[in-house]
Amino acid sequence: MTLVKEAWDAHHSSYEGDHKAKMVRLQTLRSKFDTLKMKDSESIEDYFNWVVFIVNQLKVKGEMIEDQRIIEKIL
């Protein structure tokens, strides 16, 4: 096998792993967002900050989330 082919295979398998890991992280964040509810002992500010944090993490990872959905989660 040529050195170029070995380098390509290493790069490709590395990317595949990164892509799979990214998809797992996205799924975890989606699940956190979907199941998020304000606790009785939690302040409105803390809950709001937690929602914004999760939404920002989703957006950083390329997820498109509608403002309407975020507002409904906060309300």
pLDDT digits (tens, 9 = 90+) for 10-67: 766 655 567 778 888 899 999 999 999 999 999 999 999 999 999 999 998 889 999 9
CA distance 36 to 65: 15
Q: Which domain holds residue 30?
A: 3-74
Contact call for residues 26 and 58 (beta carbons, < 8 A): yes
Identity of the amino acid at 29:
L
Residue bearing the bigger pLDDT, 1 or 11: 11
CA distance 24 to 31: 11
The CA-CA-CA angle for residues 51, 27, 52, to 5°, reads: 15
Total number of domains constituting the chain: 1
Query: What 8-state DSSP symbol labels residue 75?
Result: -
